[in-house]
Amino acid sequence: MKNTYQASDRREKVVIAAREAAFKVLGECRRKKMRPEESFSALVEKAGMSERDIALSMQILYGTIQNMSYCDFIISQYSSLKIKKLEPRLLDILRLSVYQILFLAGIPHSAAVNEGVALAKKYANPRAAGFANALLRKITDDAAIGSLPEIPSENEYQYLSVKYSHPEWLVREFCDRIGAGGAGELLRANNANNLPITAQVNTLLTDSITVMSSLAADGVDASYHKWLKDCIELRNPGNIERLNVFINGCLYVQDAASRLAVSAADPKPGQFVIDGCAAPGGKSFAAAIMMKNSGRIAAFDISDEKLTNIRDGSARLGLGIVDAMNINAAEQSDMFLDRADVVLADVPCSNFGVIRKKPDVRNKAQQDIAFLPDMQLGILANLSKYVKPGGTLLYSTCTLLQRENENVIEAFLSGHPEFSAEGFLLPGIGCVPDGMITLWPHIHGTDGFFICKLIRKGWGSGRSQL
């Protein structure tokens, strides 16, 4: 097989092809419900794949996950057996192969077919190789002449669900929110390929021009963000942690939408800021830079590993005001009552705003996320206790579901009259007069994100001073 890598352990040399690596990870995700990045990282660490092989394997793996429903539809039109009757390992192989045939123009169809058949011989039942060969060659022939089966269009939700490989219940949610046309554009944006890595410049140490010069010297394809100052987009940079600008603390990875949430909160030098759900640390870093590294930021999390990452990131960026603390955002901590000028509540959510970066997120079941609004409201209510009179409470999520966004805010305000929404300005977006905004991937080019700015009124307007 082509595109192989070799790695040694104590017993023997392991040789695995890039496609085989994608197959192994896809199967592990299916069996163990693992996140693909976790499984893939573990495989890479064990085997020591080259960057070229990693890139190919990841492209095939994530592309297959991204387009799985459509691949399944195509397979079902050519298979003599129903999808549910196919051996799971064989189905994984067929999915990976069909994705390459239909979506990867740079890979010859013959290579996709031959590699798929080889995987079937190695991992599936004895007759699977012949079955895979016949099915894949027929799909290849029909794709070449543009005669692939069309998706039935009578049911609009079902059509969009299959075409863009999103669960039908989620398609309905989006259609109800922004109409079928807008939902189609959103789903298409969610399936975009080769997205750049968005990073923010640490203006305490350098400027955008200097960072761009360093990236050019390192051979990185980079450009200024279209409308967000001191934001840079990197295309295919490889391991960003090896770049001089990253090592020297001049750059940190953060999407434009997340950066805008901190802009809405507008922390000032000398203030006390609480980042209630701080990991991975981007908002704390952005706030510290806006504050000119003057004041204090208490960054809460309950994972020692994540707190270590926040501390390491702060040290790399030279941000001395970030204090990573093992504190649960959902439980009251008396030492912070009525003390903070700004509280950031970027709460855990369903993540449906970042499907374009994490394609497996789309497959979350409704019942598995039903608890989120109550949890989000509880965290927001607890963190609100730390806001001093006149202070700011910034609620944000990276999801697009109304029940986790506007509905949570409505429920919070109904029980907390001491808070009210306040309008704000966002660079590149403009005025947000009612104090809340949803950012959409297909409209703003950012992660899907919800931002709401709340202000606590003075003493006597609600909760009394403690």
The pTM for the full model equals: 0.92
User: What residues does CATH 3.30.70.1170 cover in the chain?
Assistant: 197-253
Chain segment 49-64, per-residue pLDDT in tens: 777 888 899 999 999 9
Question: Residue 453 corresponds to which amino acid?
Answer: K
Question: How much is the pLDDT for 33?
Answer: 79
Fold of 4-144: N-utilizing Substance Protein B Homolog; Chain A (1.10.940)
> What pLDDT is recorded for position 34?
79
Work out the burial of residue 269: count CB atoms within 10 Å of its CB; fewer than 13 is exposed, 13-18 middle, 19 or more buried: exposed
Rounded to whole angstroms, the Cα distance separating 84 from 171 reads: 23
Burial of 209 (0-12, 13-18, 19+ CB in 10 A): exposed
Give burial (CB, 10 Å; 0-12/13-18/19+) of 430.
Answer: exposed
User: Which tokens go with 55?
Assistant: 């890139």
Tell me what pLDDT residue 4 has.
38
Query: Cα–Cα distance between 221 and 212 in angstroms, integer?
Result: 9
Residue range(s) of every CATH 1.10.940.10 domain in the chain: 4-144
Amino acid at position 436, single letter: M
CATH 3.40.50.150 maps onto the chain at: 256-456
Q: How many Å apart are CA 367 and CA 110, to the nearest integer?
A: 42
20: which 2 tokens?
């085989």
Spans of the chain, pLDDT less than 50: 1-15, 460-466
The tally of CA atoms less than 13 A away on the side-chain side of residue 446 is 29
Class of the CATH domain delimited by 197-253: alpha beta
What pLDDT does residue 46 have? 78
Task: Tell me which residue has tokens 């953060």.
Answer: 254
Q: Which helix (H) or strand (E) holds 63?
A: helix 51-66
pLDDT of amino acid 459: 57
pLDDT value, residue 192: 94
Q: How far is the CA of 135 from the CAs of 75, 113, 116, 267, 287, in angstroms? A: 8, 9, 11, 59, 55
CATH (one of 3.40.50.150, 3.10.20.600, 3.40.630.10, 3.40.50.300) for 256-456:
3.40.50.150
Rounded Cα distance, 142 and 365, in Å: 34
